[in-house]
C-alpha cells in the first residue's frame, strides 16, 4: 500500500507543478511600447513602436507597426536591412503581433550585431500602394559581459553537478558493495 501512496503523491506533485508552470505562460504580458517613430509609406502613415530603447544587440524586444486607421483593410511587407541581415533577403509579410492583435509586429526579435538598420515597409490598401523607410535605427553593443564569459559562468553549475555525481558514483559503486549478513 505504501508504494501506491508514493505513486499517488508523485503524480499529484507532478500535476501541481505542471499547472503552476503553465499559469505564467498563459498570462501574456502586455506589450509596453517605450519609443515610437513615424514612417510615411505613400498615403499611409505608420507608427513603429519599440518595447525597449535604445536597442541593444542580442537583446529581445517587440516591434509593433500600426498604420493610421487600422490594419483591417490593409496588407503589407517588411524588409529589414543591416549588419546582421543577409543581403538580398526577401521581404516578409506583415502579420498580426501575437500579443497586440490590433497591430502588425514582430514578437521578441533580437538583432545579432550592432550597427545601423533600415526598415522598409510596403503597404497596399484602399488608398493604393505605398512604400516608406525608417532609416538610421541604431542597434548598440550587447548588454552585459562578453558572450564567452557569460557562457563560462553559466556552465559552472553544470560542471559542479557532473563532478558531484562522479564522486558520489565512485564512492557508492552500486555493483561493488560488500554483502552484509
- pLDDT 10s digits, 37-70: 999 999 999 999 999 999 999 888 999 999 998 8
Residue 54: is the preceding peptide bond cis (ω within 30°)?
Answer: yes
Query: Other CB atoms closer than 10 Å to residue 109's CB: what's the count?
Result: 12
Q: What is the pTM of this model?
A: 0.67
Instruction: Give the integer Cα–Cα distance in Å for 94 and 131.
Output: 13
C-alpha cell at 155: 556552465
SS3 179: coil
Give the length of the chain.
181
Rounded to whole angstroms, the Cα distance separating 69 from 128 reads 15
**Angle made by CA atoms 142, 147, 150, in degrees to the nearest 5:** 115
Instruction: State which fold the 35-140 domain adopts.
Output: Immunoglobulin-like (2.60.40)
Give the pLDDT confidence of 85-138 residue by residue, as tens digits: 888 788 899 999 888 888 999 888 888 899 999 999 999 999 999 999 999 999
Amino acid at each position: 500500500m505504501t508504494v501506491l501512496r508514493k505513486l499517488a503523491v508523485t503524480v499529484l506533485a507532478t500535476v501541481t507543478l505542471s499547472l503552476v508552470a503553465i499559469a505564467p505562460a498563459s498570462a501574456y504580458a502586455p506589450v509596453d511600447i517605450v519609443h515610437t517613430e513615424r514612417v510615411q509609406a505613400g498615403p499611409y502613415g505608420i507608427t513603429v513602436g519599440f518595447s525597449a530603447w535604445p536597442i541593444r544587440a542580442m537583446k529581445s524586444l517587440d516591434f509593433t507597426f500600426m498604420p493610421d486607421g487600422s490594419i483591417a483593410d490593409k496588407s503589407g511587407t517588411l524588409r529589414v536591412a543591416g549588419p546582421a541581415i543577409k543581403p538580398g533577403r526577401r521581404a516578409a509579410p506583415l502579420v498580426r503581433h501575437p500579443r497586440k492583435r490590433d497591430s502588425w509586429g514582430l514578437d521578441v526579435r533580437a538583432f545579432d550585431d550592432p550597427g545601423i538598420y533600415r526598415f522598409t515597409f510596403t503597404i497596399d490598401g484602399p488608398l493604393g500602394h505605398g512604400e516608406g523607410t525608417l532609416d538610421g535605427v541604431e542597434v548598440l553593443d550587447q548588454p552585459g559581459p562578453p558572450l564567452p564569459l557569460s557562457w563560462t559562468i553559466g556552465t559552472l553549475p553544470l560542471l559542479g553537478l557532473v563532478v558531484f555525481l562522479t564522486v558520489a558514483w565512485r564512492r557508492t559503486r552500486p555493483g561493488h558493495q560488500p554483502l552484509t549478513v
